[in-house]
Amino acid sequence: MLITLFFILLAILLPPTVNTPRGEEYGPTLTIDDNTLYFVGLNREDGSYTEDIYVSYRDKKTGEWGAARKIDALSNPHRNEAPTSVSGDGRTMLLFVEGRMCFSVRAAYGWTEPRPLPQYLQLGNWQADAMITADGKALLFAANYPAEGEDKPSLNIFVSERDAQGRWGTPYSIGSAINTTGMERSPFLHPDLKTLYFSSDREGTLGDLDVWVTRRLADTCWNCWSEPENLGPEINTVGRDCWYKISTDGTTAYYAQKIGRMHDIYAVTLPQDKRPESITVLTVNEPVAIDNLLFETASDVIMEASLPELKRIATHVQTYGYKVQLAGHTDNIGQPESNKTLSQARAESVRRQLIAYGCAPEAIKAYGYGDTRPVAPNDTEEGRQLNRRVEITIHY
């Protein structure tokens, strides 16, 4: 009881624009920019007595969630639907529909009628919690199906890899480091493509299901993971902890908690040691400073520690066919003309690296602006560090 009370004090209940007094809200799903929230609504006054899908948009200026509305195209009053993930470009949604994995595409007129994923991906008699990784190359999901070493079905997590022709491969277990003879579900791989959160009743839980975190040990395998860590009493309770989705900046977890008879959606700050790696969040038509980008002093030579982030960006750009504009910036130390030259050289260096990772040369432009576009005062080292940056803007 003390653990539960401590947890409630840390958690923040999302506002009445999302949660309602009469209905239940759960299964939160966020877009990669963290500004659109899809979720399940049940028994709401504006819904039905089955699970429907709702959406709320965050005001970019105030940070507040707007009034949620039911998505009629995805909400059939005679069946249960739940959003499970949204692709990096926001155009494809994976859904749970009556125990099967389905998908919908957002067209000019709205979301299309959900259609099932291929039958060979539907393992056993129940599948859920499907998500496509941020780079579009793997599908993770939970199914009531035996994993390695099991002689009868239990809830396990599986993966299907997409080949160069865009076809999904035969699903296989994500590995014995994660799957047990108990219950594993609700996989969420952060866009860093390394940090996996999932729910399990494995040994060491505080209650029914707890949320655990594990790290992928290599980007060449999907069944090699570090020993899972329980997120601890700051996050988990004695109840069922499930449907956790982590914000792209890695600081906040969104989840559903049942207090009394009703589920509502909450947000909680993740402990520092349970957060994923910091990454660059790519949004459409908005310049974003590339995270973890380091150069040798007064040079355009990219430090080796920056390469994984550039590789991740290159994969994302190729997956969704983006066009990219790079903009180099400096602080105001030194001569303006020298700063402009350095900023151009650094932007060109990033361009060359993205091309080396497979991006089309004609899709990437590079410009240097020197010290003419500061984002912070140059009178402190912190401000000057913010001004030394390469920004990326992506376009469809």
The pLDDT assigned to 4 comes to 44
Looking at every residue in the chain, the average pLDDT score rounds to 90
The pLDDT assigned to 272 comes to 86
Residues 157, 34: Cα–Cα separation, whole Å: 25
The pLDDT assigned to 245 comes to 92
Residues 96, 38: Cα–Cα separation, whole Å: 13
CATH number among 3.30.420.40, 3.20.20.70, 1.10.3720.10, 2.115.10.20, domain 2-274? 2.115.10.20
Domain borders along the chain are 2-274, 288-395
The pLDDT assigned to 66 comes to 96
Residues 97, 74: Cα–Cα separation, whole Å: 10
Of 258, 160, 253, the residue nearest 208 (C-alpha): 258
pLDDT at 47 over 90: no
Residues 76, 84: Cα–Cα separation, whole Å: 17
| Fold of the 288-395 domain | 60s Ribosomal Protein L30; Chain: A; (3.30.1330)
DSSP state of 60: T
Task: List pLDDT tens digits, range 288-315.
Answer: 899 889 898 889 999 988 888 898 899 8
The secondary element (H helix, E strand) that includes residue 197 is strand 195-200
Residues 305, 229: Cα–Cα separation, whole Å: 26
Tokens of 297: 């002093």
The pLDDT assigned to 279 comes to 78
Helices and strands, number each (H, E), in the chain: 4, 25
- Confidence grade of residue 6 (pLDDT, cut at 50, 70, 90): very low
Task: List pLDDT tens digits, range 127-151.
Answer: 999 999 888 889 999 999 999 888 8
Task: List pLDDT tens digits, range 161-171.
Answer: 998 888 999 99
- Confidence grade of residue 9 (pLDDT, cut at 50, 70, 90): very low
